[in-house]
Amino acid sequence: MENLKVKIKKLNERAILPTYGSPYAAGADLYACIDEDVTVEPHKTVFIKTGLSMEIPVGFAAFIYARSGLACKRGLAPANKVGVVDCDYRGEVMVALHNHSDKAETVAVGERIAQLVIAPYYTADIEECEELSDTVRGEGGFGSTGRK
């Protein structure tokens, strides 16, 4: 399997390039590029800089997900659940880190704050119509397929 080349520019000399925790990890860790530790108060959101910008190949996007340990043990996860970095964005990648817990949590300088997954995507040709095809499921949603 050939690796995809993604160009990453350091916007800050202290920025840390994303790293993979194992040879088959899907997500690369993103690191906090901040001047000092930042406290995220309970149920609040803070934007944490990475000090990086990137050039993602056309047809791909970068998706920013929570790090499982940070989210499960400390309640810190991206506020938007999954951040999306489009291939034409060249600004600094930041993580909107939300504290879902009832106690303040501190993000340390250089701490791993999220994981970055590069994946292909499709752009749909949106077409308005008057009718949709029928299916067995129909309009059932929000758990309806598990009901008897």
Residues in the chain: 148
Percent of the chain with pLDDT over 90: 89
d(CA 7, CA 53) in angstroms, rounded, equals 9
CB 77 within 8 A of CB 118: no
d(CA 14, CA 52) in angstroms, rounded, equals 10
On average, the pLDDT of the chain sits at: 94
Residue 90: its pLDDT value, please?
98
| 79 pLDDT more than 90 | yes
Nearest to residue 118, comparing CAs of 140, 73, 77, 87?
87
d(CA 33, CA 7) in angstroms, rounded, equals 18
Q: How confident is the model over 7-23, as a mean pLDDT?
A: 97
Fill in the amino acid letter for 13: E
Band (pLDDT 50/70/90 cuts) for residue 143 is low
CB 82 within 8 A of CB 64: yes
| 140 pLDDT more than 80 | no
Residue 4: its pLDDT value, please?
93
Domains and CATH numbers, the chain: 7-121 (2.70.40.10)
pTM above 0.85, yes or no: yes
How many helices (H) and strands (E) the chain has is answered by 1, 12
Band (pLDDT 50/70/90 cuts) for residue 137 is confident
CB 19 within 8 A of CB 11: no
| 17 pLDDT more than 90 | yes
| 77 pLDDT more than 90 | yes
**What confidence tens digit (pLDDT) does each residue in 103-132 have?**
999 999 999 999 999 999 999 999 999 999
